[in-house]
Structure 1
Amino acid sequence: MSAAWAMVRHRFASFAGTFVAVALGVAVLAASATLQLSSKPQAPARYDAAPLLVLPPETGTNDYGEPERPNWTPSEATDLAGKLTSLPGVTAAVPDPSFYIQRLIDGKATGDPQASRINGHAWSSAALGGYQLAAGRPPTKAGEVAAAGTTPGERIEVLTARGPETWTVTGTVIDNGHHAGFFVADSVAFARASGVPLIGLTLTGDDGWVAAAARALIGPAGVVLAGADRDQLEPGSVSRIRWIGAQLLIVLVALGAFATVFVVSSTCALSAAQRRRELGLLRAVGATPGQVRRMMYAETTLIALFAGVIGAPIGALFAPLLADPMVETGLEPPGFAATWQPLALAGAVLVGLFAALAGVVVAARRASRISPLDALRESAADPRPMPPSRWVTGIASAAAGGALLAVMPSLSNASKTTAGLGAAMLLITAAALLSPVLIVPIVRLLAAPWRNSATGMLVREGTLTGVRRVASTAAPVLATVGLTVLLTGMIATIEVASGIDEAAEYPVANLLVPLNTPGLSEAAVATQSGTSRLPTRVQVTVPTTTRGYDGAGLTGPESSPVGPAGGVGERPGSEAGAGAVLHADTAGELGVAAGATIALRFADGTRAELPVLAVDPNAEAPIVLPRALVRAHDPDALTDMVVLNGPATEAAGAESLPVATYVQREVDDEGRLVDLFLWAMISLSAGYTGIAVGNTLLMAVAARRAELRVLRLAGATRRQILGVLAAESLLAVGVGAVLGAAVAAISLLGIRAAVESELGQAVTLVIPWTAAAAVTTGCALIALVAAAVPTLHRPTGP
């Protein structure tokens, strides 16, 4: 360790690339981990005064991995709440039905569309959030509402699942700084909501004792949440925002760790090559191969720990600055703030250390094989730049990448994108491994215009002599340009193909779609000439299992409801004359066929047995039901869109769009987050590429001081030497850019062929040369600075 410490102290400049790479990696890791650990689920503020919350039991998980909990019917919830109220220490047990509502101002829906899905509440549930009236009285009948920011007696326009309505404000709610929503009479909330998903308890007794008593009372009929467990009730729309943000942070962490390994590996490899005589001397005076390896590990450990101590606080300081941009871009929910997370800093330092050690493994192994005789050798030419192992690995990678591109059109749709990325990565790896061979013809081609000048000759021959040095500079440029062109081109090409594919699904010219709302109301749909489907969620029970499925209500001859709703918010439990059509996959999972009977539990909690009318492999949804039946049991459901077969009728919360415009909007909305992820990756990759290129050139130029003195003795001026170094640097960057762009273009051609075979029509290939030029220009500027700094800093005189 003492020898390693002496090396680090006296030759710190040669470790600068490793230091900067690890420091940047640790800073990225620390900031990402701080943001991730700060992003914790939170129970909605409207339950702040309810220490205990009771939910229906789970029946499985949905497609997002979230617990599936069928709602209670109003009568089930009311009965259970009555039992819970009888427990000592419980002041109230309040069912909390929620329904969709948005306020209309000048005919336009306002507020957050997703949050509005659960914006309507029963007045009794105001106690769960500690909400009180500042003025007026509670609502007691249909058409009355209490809300914050309103005045008693005021008439307001609202939009619900039924359509636009005008309500009278009876009370002004004090919302305690949170959006409390709209409160209506309990009977109205029960009638408008699709069942009851929760019962909240307000207490005077000990939380723990009451929770245990509640669990003993209800048994398997419900789940009692207390303390931090209440955070499970964070709305799904908010949880998905956190999930999206987490994916970006995970990508940044993984990319930061990988790039750190990559830069440290290339830096240590070049350093070991330049230190052959030094390491040979150590071997000559008795150092064993194991001691050489341990010395390099110790050097890297010292540099990594020093860099980690610097990088971790920088990341922690930057994390709060990133919180607001993440909220603004939809990667974190409103109100998110980064907090002090010491565990994140410690973890970042450790990960940075392990990444650095992983990067030095190969270089340390090679260094340990240096012979003592290397101390007596001095050669300007690179010794054997292409060992047999590099040949074999490079050719195998190229063959595997080419084979993947060849078979890609025959793969399943789900596998094509993965195969395309895999093929590109293999080809990039092959190009990097074979670059010492590929560099020679490319250098001769690029340098041909200046072959008759003295500077051109020096640049060409110096580059061809130092193939390993050029390959070390070109490799990170190759990878970055290749990935930039590949990813941006692939996404742009797929977006074009997605637009073609999605537009083909609509054989009409126009659609009626939501306008700043989560869906279309029944009134908006009823006035249109066209077709639509009403989405819902149902639980299907067969003798051995219960599963949740997406359902769709379609208009058909058997769509009329069976009878009027019975009781307050109650709906029929038997649906004589109605039936279900199952998708073939659904029927296979349930093990049923046409003519069988299935037991359904609807969104409102009611149960019914329905016959299976047919099994259709082209069904609109896993379970297709009459629209009126879905509406009867899911009064809060909203329609996604109407496929118009005539002129659109104006409706609140809706707009008519040409199919092409709608498809482009959908593609753009999906592409926004993809582009954000993409440019975050490209920016971080470009940063590491700059470090790798700059460090490689700094080390290379510093090691060529003797060569530069010879040029001065031969009569070259400082300006001419700078010109030679600049030209060599630009040539190395150009080689990497050419190889990267070529590999990416080949991969994109294969991806386009696969997409065309899937769609059965031609697709435009999009190659983002602008992005490639921007990355290449950035690398070139860094290379020029890195080549010039050592020359300007140190005298090159004889």
Structure 2
Amino acid sequence: MISFALHALRHRKASFAGAFAALFCAAAMICACGTLMTTGLAGHARPGRYAGAPVIVAGDPESHFLKDKGDGEFKRKSKPNTARAWIPAALAERIRSVPGVERAVPEVSVPVLGPDGKATGHGWESAALTPVALRAGRAPRAAGEIVVARGRVGARLRVLTPAGPGAYTVVGVSRQNAGVFFSTGEAARLAARPGQVTAIGVWPAGAAKAVRDAVGGAAVVRTGDGRGQVEFLGVDAARTRLISMGAALGGTSLLVALLAVTGTFGITVQQRERELALLRAVAATPRQVRRLIGGEALLVGVLAAVPGALAGLPLGAWLHGRFVGLGAVPAELPLVLGPFAPLAAVAATVPAAWIAARVSARRVARLRPVEALGEAALTPGRTPWLRVLAGLAAVAAGVVLTLVLTSVHSDAASGPLTPLTALAWTTAITLLGPLLARCTLGLIPAGGLVAANLRADTRRTAAVLGPLTLMIALSGTLMFAETTVKNAAAEQARAGTRASHVLGPMTAAQAAELRRRPGVRAVTQVLRTRVRAIGSPYSAQGVTTEGLGETMDLKVVSGTLADLREGTAAVRTHLGKKVGDTLAIAMADGTPVRLRVVAVYERGLGFGDLTLPYPLVAAHVDVPMGTALVAAPGVKLTGTAVRAASRENSGSAVNYLSLGLIVAFAGITMVNTLALAVAGRSRELALLRLAGSSRRQVLRTLRFETLAVVLLAAALGGGIAFVTLTGFGAGMTGSSPAFPPGVFAGIVAAAGALALAATALPARAALRAAPAAVLGARE
């Protein structure tokens, strides 16, 4: 059977080219996503600033939870923090007394905002942790002196720290870009947390075990690449993000590949029905036919998957670079390449090809030998009942997933569920395509030969309709899901911001001074952060409550924000909490707190899932300098006027990049399927030419056929996107989805342009040959 499969591949290269292209792209996408997952699983950040100290003692970079398993046992869960956990400065003295320790240097970190943007300041004594060498000048000794990485000695530099604005003289320029350095005493004065430090460097390396025993649970002790984990807090979160993004992209790509390859093999088998029927007529058993087609699929799968997987490695490197450029992944987390991603791509793609081919071969393989040749010459009059049942099951899955979407209120859950819902509906369209084509093509304004061609072979029309619908549905769903949330968040922020000015960054002393200015009715300090409960991360804002009603309206539905004080919190609706409940969370630096809910509000998309007292948030973030909402109508203040304080959405660019990859993959499969379908009609096109039609007339007929199918795909794909987004909007925003008709028209136009190009190019190639030669050619 393998020899027959090799013979078929050798003599029908054009028929299998489409399947090869689809499988190649699928393997490349899956391998690229696998490299992201490999980086997330095995990636480590090498230390930069802490490279000079063999042992680093620091706060725990993770939050820890105990999850009740329901049988009296608890499972420990750890999640990365978004802020640095500080440790007592007195711990340095304890470490110095440990036998074997030669030196222990504490590090104090100070957030600094200067002319060049944000930076981190330190006391000069901690320069030994890198170590930092001076290119010019000397070390800072007095309170008004500073060392910078870029600048000139003698320059005056104004910076903002949590202690307020200050002016410093540059006395040194460092060779390494390790932040700015104050004198040791000045760094201690400027520190946001007196009596605490961010890390302690210890020498020599052999003292690590003794130091670990001495500090106990008060801190963590890291050596080697483990020092990078406590230096770059974003690394662990980025690793988790890479795993989830890689799994979501890879899973979606695999589902798209299954749909695409099934359609491609369906057209290939359909174009070979005469050949396969002849095998049945000369006593080939159904099993032998299925084995032949399955063997061909395995050969094509291997031939396409291996180079596709290799091509996925540079694609994965490019994706990693783009994520680093967009800020979703820190540059300190290098790409990790290994055998897992290519092997996983081959292991996923080859079975997908085999399954798609076996499914496509069911009808021809079951024909009785006496029916085979006659059946092969005709288009089946009905859709197989098994396909109809599978399509109805996909419809049921789409309904269930849409209903589930209406009850999902978090990005983490709705992110993978939304494209899965659209894919379920698209699968139903693909399976029920012949029935839909038969029922709906009569409604399309196309007459004569165009309508006759479309209705003559609904299987071919359905095979082309599937990838077109997939591209339009996925594009609309993924793009408009992002805009639905962003528009709702911006609208809530606009409606809830009563302040006339938004100023910042601002320290507590500056805010107090601003409150005393004439004409200022209220000043609300706002500090944004991320906190975590055992099951989910939450966006949160810390606010000062004095005059809060003058600057912000969260649309409270129960309780009152007047009760917001130490030990309390306000939460948005859909978090499952009511007034009086207890909320257990870990702050940004991992500190566990238990808070009593005093209010529930609706505008959580615009202002955050949680609203907390400002002092609580400021005590557990790296940069305790937020913005200030100022109610001062008619007063001219320096800052940004009447700006909506909408929620941060730094992942938008990453989401759009992921959207582009998936849609590009769907577009490639659509072009591939259309080109294969047109190439398989060379005999039909030649017959039209012999009947007296000109090349221009044939091409115009094909264009009208394609436009008719695009119109139907636009209606089906738009319907899928709208239904999916209705469920998404009900859960995430509580409102109707953002579905701009102009943008959707652009999506349809792009799909239509690709479809016309995919139709015209192979058609022109087929029409170049003499019609008589084509009809007389051996199949």
Report if TM-score (shorter chain) is over 0.5. yes
Query: What is the match of residue 732 of structure 1?
Result: 709
CA contact (8 A) 1:26 1:352 kept: yes
What's the CA shift for 1:44? 4.3
When residues 366 and 191 of structure 1 are mapped into structure 2, their CA distance, relative to the original with a 3 A threshold, is farther
| TM-score normalised to structure 1 length | 0.77
Give 1:774 shift: 1.2
2:79 to 61, 65, 74: 65
2:294 maps to what in 1? Answer: 297
Which residue pairs with 2:544 in the alignment? Answer: 554
Summarize the alignment of residues 390-789 of structure 1 with structure 2, pairs less than 5 Å apart: 390-395=387-392, 397-398=394-395, 411=407, 413-414=409-410, 424-440=422-438, 442-448=440-446, 451=447, 457-514=448-505, 522-523=509-510, 526-528=513-515, 529=520, 530-533=522-525, 535=527, 552=542, 554=544, 580-583=566-569, 616-618=598-600, 627=615, 637-646=624-633, 655-660=639-644, 662-663=645-646, 671-698=652-679, 700-702=680-682, 705=683, 707-745=684-722, 758=734, 765-767=739-741, 768-789=744-765
Match of residue 345 from structure 2: 348
Unaligned runs of 5+ in 2: 66-76, 548-563, 602-607
How many Å separate the matches in 2 of 1:36 and 1:538? 24
Taking the TM superposition and a 5 Å limit, the aligned residue runs for 1:368-379 are 368-378=365-375
Confirm or deny: 8 A CA contact 1:30 1:344 kept in the other structure: yes
- Which of 215, 221, 226 is the matching residue for 1:224? 221
Deviations 1:331-383, CA, capped at 9 Å, x for gaps:
44447776764543344333332332343342244454233234432554311
One-letter amino acid of the structure 1 residue matched with residue 510 of structure 2: A
Aligned CA distance change for structure 1 residues 350 and 401 (closer, same or farther; 3 Å): closer
Deviations 1:68-101, CA, capped at 9 Å, x for gaps? 9984554433323323xx443x442212221201
Question: What does 1:203-218 correspond to in 2, within 5 Å?
Answer: 203-204=203-204, 207=205, 209-218=206-215
3-state SS in 2 of match to 1:100? strand
Q: Which residue identity is paired with 1:136?
A: G
Q: Does 1:141 pair with 2:152?
A: no
- State whether residues 25 and 260 of structure 1, in contact with CA within 8 Å, keep that contact through their aligned partners in structure 2: yes
Cα contact 1:308–1:348 (8 A) shared by 2 = yes
1:46 match: secondary structure = coil
C-alpha displacement of 1:131: 0.8
Aligned-pair Cα RMSD in Å: 4.6
Shift of 1:753: 7.5
Q: How far has the Cα of 1:502 moved from its partner?
A: 2.3
CA distance in 1, matches of 2:87, 2:686: 89
2:2 pairs with 1:16: no
Whole-Å separation in 1 of the counterparts to 2:200 and 2:417? 50
Cα 1:391/1:57, change in 2 over 3 Å: closer
Asked whether the 8 Å contact 1:146–1:184 carries over to 2, the reply is yes
- Rounded to whole Å, the distance in 2 between the matches of 1:337 and 1:67 is 20
What letter corresponds to residue 465 of structure 2 in structure 1?
Answer: A
Between the aligned partners of 1:743 and 1:550, the Cα distance in structure 2 is 34
Number of equivalences = 721
Q: Structure 2 residue aligned with 1:101, among 112, 119, 129?
A: 112
Instruction: Give the drift of 1:45.
Output: 1.1
Which digits, 9 at most, give the CA deviation of each residue in 1:13-62, with x for residues without a partner?
Answer: 21111111111222233344446646734144111112221223578349
User: Cα 1:649–1:69, aligned 2, differ >3 Å: closer, same or farther?
Assistant: same
> Any idea what SS the aligned residue of 2:171 has?
strand
**Contact 1:729/1:783 (CA < 8 Å) preserved in 2?**
yes
Check conservation: 1:123, 1:138, Cα contact below 8 A: yes
The separation in 2 between residues aligned to 1:589 and 1:442, in whole angstroms, is 45
Q: Quick one: distance in 2 between partners of 1:650 and 1:401?
A: 53
Taking a change above 3 Å as real, the CA distance of residues 152 and 221 of structure 1, as seen in their structure-2 partners, is same
Quote the residue 1:270 is aligned against.
Answer: 267
Residues 486 and 604 of structure 1: is their aligned pair in 2 closer, same or farther, counting only changes over 3 Å? closer
2:58 maps to a residue whose letter is L
- Cα distance in 1 between the residues matched to 2:324 and 2:530: 34
Distance change (3 Å), C-alpha of 1:508 and 1:101: closer
Q: What is residue 564 of structure 1 aligned with on the other side?
A: none
User: What CA deviation, in whole Å up to 9, does each residue of 1:266-295 have, x standing for no partner?
Assistant: 122233333334334434555443333333
Post-superposition CA distance 1:486-523 (Å, at most 9, x none) = 33344434433332222222233432244xxxx75642
Aligned-residue offset at 1:437: 2.8
Shift in Å, 1:64: 9.5
- Are the aligned partners of 2:571 and 2:597 in contact in 1 as well (CA < 8 Å)? no
The residue type paired with residue 466 of structure 2 is A
Shift of residue 419 of structure 1? 8.1
Partner of 1:50: 53
Corresponding residue SS for 2:378: coil
> Which among 91, 103, 109 is matched to residue 92 of structure 1?
103
Distance 1:11 1:399 in 2: 39
**Native 8 Å contact 1:163 1:524 kept in 2:** no
Map 1:215-364 → 2, pairs under 5 A = 215-237=212-234, 248-319=245-316, 325-334=322-331, 341-364=338-361
Q: Normalization by structure 2: what TM-score?
A: 0.79
Query: 1:127 corresponds to which residue?
Result: 128
Residues 406 and 727 of structure 2 are in contact (CA less than 8 Å); yes or no, is this contact kept in structure 1?
Answer: no
Structure 2 CA distance for aligned equivalents of residues 709 and 537 of structure 1: 67
Q: Deviations over 1:99-139 (max 9, x none)?
A: 201223xxxxx23x4xx3xx111211111101123343322
Cα distance, 1:593 vs structure 2: 7.9
Deviations 1:198-237 (A, max 9, x none): 4443545xx4x43223223333333221223223125334
Cα distance in 2 between the residues matched to 1:601 and 1:753? 29
In structure 2, how many angstroms separate the alpha carbons of the residues matched to 1:537 and 1:764? Answer: 27
Shift of 1:472: 0.7
Secondary structure in structure 2 of the residue aligned to 1:677: helix
| Alpha-carbon separation, structure 2, partners of 1:232 and 1:687 | 40
> Is 670-679 or 42-51 further displaced after alignment?
670-679
Is 273-282 or 478-487 further displaced after alignment?
Answer: 273-282
The CA deviation string for residues 145-191 of structure 1, in whole angstroms up to 9 with x for no partner, is 2222234433211121233210122332221xxx2111122233233
Residue by residue over 1:541-592, the C-alpha shift from the partner in whole angstroms, topping out at 9 and shown as x without a partner, is xxxxxx99978463669xxxxxxxxxxxxxxxxxxxx972423789x99999
User: Is contact 1:148–1:173 with CA below 8 Å preserved after alignment?
Assistant: yes
Taking a change above 3 Å as real, the CA distance of residues 538 and 751 of structure 1, as seen in their structure-2 partners, is: closer
**Alpha-carbon separation, structure 1, partners of 2:213 and 2:474:** 58
Aligned amino acid, residue 121 of structure 2: G
SS at match of 1:377: helix
Give the superposition deviation at 1:250. Answer: 4.3
Rounded to whole Å, the distance in 2 between the matches of 1:535 and 1:298 is: 62
Does 2:186 correspond to 1:188? yes
Matches of 1:56 and 1:498 in 2, distance apart? 35
Distance 1:189 1:358, change over 3 A: farther
Q: Secondary structure at 2:168's aligned position in 1?
A: strand
Query: Which range moved further: 679-688 or 635-644?
Result: 635-644
Say if 1:583 and 1:618, in contact at 8 Å, map to a contact too: no
Identity of aligned residues (%): 27
